[in-house]
Every structure is written in C-alpha cells, then in structure tokens.
Amino acid sequence: MDMDFLKKFQWLNRAECRISEKSLIINAHPRSDFFISPAGDKKSSDAALFFTETEDEFILKAKVTHSFKSVFDAAALMVYSDETCWAKLCFELTDFGSHSVVAVVTNGFSDDANGVKIPGNSVWLQITRKDNLIAFHYSEDGTNLEKVRFFRLPVNKKVKTGFVAQSPLGGGGEFMFEDILFKTGGIADVKKGR
C-alpha cells in the first residue's frame, strides 16, 4: 500500500521513526505508556503516538510486530479524545508472560483486559469508530476478523487515531506497523468492523 498518507500524520510525544514503502517503524521511548491506574496510583501519557485527526467514521488496521523484550511492551492502535478519554488495542507482552491482544479503555480511569494469546510476534489489529461506538478486532491472517470488544466511549467529534509504541517497564525498542489501512466513511456495521 502507498504510505504517502502517513506524511500528514503528527506526533503526540515525538519519537524516532522510519517510513518505507511497506512499513512504519517507531522507536518507543523507555518507560513510556498511556495508562491511568484504576487504583489511582499511576498516570502515564508519555508513549509515542503517531496520529491523524478526523471527525469521520473510520477503520484503522495494521499488522503489528515487535520483539517482546520487556513486560507491557506493546505495539498498539489508538483512538484518543483527550488525556482521560481514549482507548487502545495492543499486542503486548503481558505480566503473565504471554503475547496477547490487550484492550485498554480509559474514561477517567483505565481498564485493562488481556485477550487471546497469539503465537509468534505478529498479529493484525483493527479499530472501527462510528460516532461514540468503537469496536476492536484482531486477525491472525489479515483477513478473518475476531471481535475483542465493542463499546461506547464519550469521545469528542474530532479524535486522534494512529499508532502507539510503548515500553512501560523497559528500555524502548523498535515497533513495526505494516499492511496499514486507514479508511474513512462507509462503515456499515461497527460491531463487525466493516
């Protein structure tokens, strides 16, 4: 896919990155995350987010890959309204030692739900948004979607959406996004991701 559309993307917490004809590689900052602890004892908003802004309904999909060096290292897709209202879909090294699809939804505080375990270091992630409805899906083959979560979140009309590289306990590293699809309009069924 032509990656020229990424030239219009911006940074929240700028990081080093490389854009080629086939991939986006972001170098995560050490000790970086987006998370507001449900216990109220931790708030982080310093991970790299490479984003575009839109008021439209959209699908954002990418194959994500990384090396799973440190606990909570993740490549993620995100929809971001403001500092306390956002959601991210991660491919993460969990504190249970698994490579898992993880959903984090934040509305004042973050919830954190480990999902399916994935063999290997790559998986496709997808966010679909229509108004305040958001769906998270993953795919092991890039085609057949499995639902992770379908929810309502009081986001602003205009949101940021894009790619996150995080390393909350680690020293950072490279996080790759390939087969990127960003499509606005024409969302028939948010829950099914199409």
Cα separation, 152 vs 154, whole angstroms? 7
- What is the mean predicted confidence (pLDDT) over 44-61? 97
131 contacts 74 by C-beta, under 8 angstroms:
no
| CA–CA dist 98, 132 (Å, integer) | 31
**C-alpha span between 42 and 51 (Å, rounded):** 24
pLDDT-derived band at 81, boundaries 50, 70, 90: very high
Spatial contact of 123 and 75, defined as CB atoms under 8 Å apart: no
pTM: 0.96
Q: Among residues 47, 63, 70, which one has the least CA distance to residue 141? A: 63
Q: Which residues pair with 60 in a beta bridge?
A: 127, 182
Specify whether the CB–CB gap between 4 and 20 falls below 8 A.
Answer: no
Q: 66 pLDDT exceeds 90? A: yes
Q: What is the pLDDT of residue 7?
A: 87
- CA distance linking residue 124 with residue 42, whole number of Å: 29
Question: Which residue range forms the structural domain that includes residue 102?
Answer: 4-17+30-184
Q: Give me the number of domains the chain comprises.
A: 1
- Euclidean distance between the first and final Cα of the chain, in Å? 19
Query: What's the pLDDT score for residue 1?
Result: 55
Q: Which residue has the higher pLDDT, 178 or 1?
A: 178
Q: Give the SS3 label for residue 47.
A: coil
**Structural domain includes residue 163:** yes
DSSP run (H or E) holding 58: strand 58-66
Structure tokens at 158: 């205009």
3-state secondary structure of 5: helix
56-72 average pLDDT score: 97
| pLDDT tens digit sequence for 136-170 | 999 999 999 999 999 999 999 999 999 999 999 99
Whether 170 maps to a domain, the answer reads: yes
Q: Is residue 193 part of a domain?
A: no
Q: Which residue has the tokens 């219009």?
A: 8
37 and 110 Cβ atoms separated by less than 8 Å: yes
We report the CATH number of the domain holding residue 92 as 2.60.120.200
Domain membership of residue 192 (yes or no) is: no
